[in-house]
Structure formats: structure tokens, C-alpha cells
Amino acid sequence: MLVLTRRIGESVLIGDDVEVTILDIKGDAIRIGIQAPRETRIQRSEIVEAVAASNAEAAHAGDDAEAALRAAFTARAAAD
């Protein structure tokens, strides 16, 4: 990990087309601005991690969920 010290108004360039600028510092919070091409995805890491964890949890449904789905499909097939 590269660690840099920047002041308000100073920027860091990432590659040729991404610029990160320090906008404001208040206490332990820092506001940054990111200028990048529209096609560049910019996401908060904690949101990406939360979605990944939620998806993994949903993918590992318990045996009860599988049994309930099988029973529902069997009941529907018998009714048709």
C-alpha cells in the first residue's frame, strides 16, 4: 500500500485518467473528490463487501430451505 500525505486542494493521479483530490478535513473525516471517466466503476469497499457477504449467505441456504422448495414444487405439480 502506498501511503501519501496530502493537504486540502492537493491531488493524487492514478494512471492517466483518475485524479483524487482532498476537498476537506474535519476531525477524523476526510472528503475526497474523484475525477474519472464515466466507465470507471468507483465503489465504497464496505458496500461491496456487504453485498458479497449477503450473496454468499443467500447462496448457502440451509437444508430446510431446499426441502421447502421441493415440497412446494411437488405440491404444485400434483395440483396441476
What's the pTM value of the predicted model, to 2 decimals? Answer: 0.64
Model pLDDT, residue 65? 75
Alpha helices in the chain (DSSP H): 45-59, 63-79
Kindly list the averaged pLDDT for each block of 10 residues, start to end, along the chain of length 80.
96 96 96 96 94 84 76 81
Model pLDDT, residue 21? 98
Q: How open is the CA angle 46-43-13, to the nearest 5 degrees?
A: 120
Each domain of the chain, given as residue ranges in start order, spans 1-38, 43-80
User: Do 42 and 36 meet the contact criterion of CB atoms below 8 Å apart?
Assistant: yes
Model pLDDT, residue 72? 87
Model pLDDT, residue 26? 96
Q: 48, 42, 36, 44: which is closest to 12 by C-alpha?
A: 36
